[in-house]
Amino acid sequence: MIRVAILAESAEQAEHLAELLATEPTVEITEARAIAGENDEQAAGIPDVSLIAGLTPHAMPTTSSRSVVLSDGSPSDGQLGHSVRAWLPLESSIREIVAAIHAVANDLIVLTSAQIERWLHPEPQENTGTLIEALTPRELQVLRMLADGLGNKEIAAQLGVSDHTAKFHVSQILAKLNAASRTEAVAIGIRRGLVPI
């Protein structure tokens, strides 16, 4: 059973999603309510997955659990990864939402094909001719861990190094790839064949 907290733009929207998910036997709704603020911790403890609905990308709350976001906007590069693990259109079907909840509960990241296409083939920018400095074998290893959705603590644990060292590797990767975020670094790595798909 996957414990899900529903945080929505309005109480009505939260209740509607709770009603739709109530018939799903593998999902237990721990709470359904309107979002109160930017750092919105769940009253019923930390669920397995938070379902966040109806907000613009810049108004997303911070939660301790992995999140499935339903929004008409597109995620910014920095939003996916640590807690936001799925981003679906607001009009997604209940079947798509349940599939995303299951995927996120199993440490997967869920995006629409259009979102993936935008990241794999972004519009060219002015400095596309800039050479990217070569990554060390360790940095390539860390980049692949970033692609798997691991956070700094998880990377540090797998490599047997301190959190500080893991953060250093990530910052070196961002600098060498001229990336503004972890997600952008992974997208660049995929485009350049550094990260297997």
Q: Do residues 2 and 101 lie in contact, with contact meaning Cβ atoms separated by under 8 Å?
A: yes
Does the domain at 2-119 match CATH 3.20.10.10? Answer given as: no
In angstroms, rounded to a whole number, what is the distance separating the alpha carbons of residues 155 and 165? 10
Residue 70 has pLDDT above 60, yes or no: yes
pLDDT of 131-146, one tens digit each?
456 888 999 999 999 9
Residue 127 has pLDDT above 50, yes or no: no
CATH number of the domain located at residue range(s) 137-191 in this protein: 1.10.10.10
Domain positions in the chain are: 2-119, 137-191
Q: Do residues 184 and 143 lie in contact, with contact meaning Cβ atoms separated by under 8 Å?
A: no
123 against 136, higher pLDDT: 136
Name residue, tokens 């596309």: 128
pLDDT of 19-35, one tens digit each?
999 999 999 999 999 87
Mean pLDDT of 67-87: 77
Q: What is the pTM of this model?
A: 0.59
In angstroms, rounded to a whole number, what is the distance separating the alpha carbons of residues 79 and 85? 9
**pLDDT for the residue numbered 38:** 47
Q: Do residues 21 and 98 lie in contact, with contact meaning Cβ atoms separated by under 8 Å?
A: yes
CA distances from 27 to 99, 100, 109, 178 (A): 11, 12, 18, 41
Run of H or E residues at 29: strand 27-34
